[in-house]
Amino acid sequence: MKTSQFTDGKSKKIAMFQGSFDPFTRGHESIVRRALPLFDEVVIAVVSNIAKKPFMSLDNRMSLVKAVFADEPRIRVISSQGLTVDVAREVGATCLLRGVRMIQDFENEMHMAEINRRLGGIETVLLYTLPEFSHISSTIVRELYSYGQDVSDYLPVNAPKDLLGK
């Protein structure tokens, strides 16, 4: 596994967790918090995809994620565009971090992991979603919110709810 360097010359393991996070859910938060014991740093790369019409603005998505992890200095939040392997290289990531909720996710992630390994020589670490979060997806949260439903149970406890839909 490739490593970055601490200022004292020791190796630093950096995972990059990339996604649209539109919005960032309790499932996403769980994956990141569970990854922290495995890595020295987790970079959360919030995708800016001009081809998609996002529910939340990029600034609001980034603000929400930063607020959730305000107490954790080992988490860095960036915006990203372009190929995942290129962004990973720019931030010094030693691997990609992905969450898997169901078998369909696993199949998709397996294919993407192989492409990313071939393109950039970077490995992917999959963490399975905890059962209590496996039913949560950003798509479901957006849909419930659009019908005026309370989505608080699906968002991180300390997520600023006033950022949704803007």
Q: Catalytic site residues?
A: 28, 52, 101, 138
Which residue stretches of 58-151 are H helix? 58-68, 84-91, 103-120, 138-146
Strands 11-12 and 14-19 turn out to be unpaired
Three-state secondary-structure class, residue 107: helix
Q: How far apart are CA 23 and CA 27, in angstroms?
A: 11
* DSSP code for 25: -
Element housing 134 (H / E): none
CA atoms within 13 A on the CB side of 124: 24
> Residue 45: beta bridge partners?
18, 78
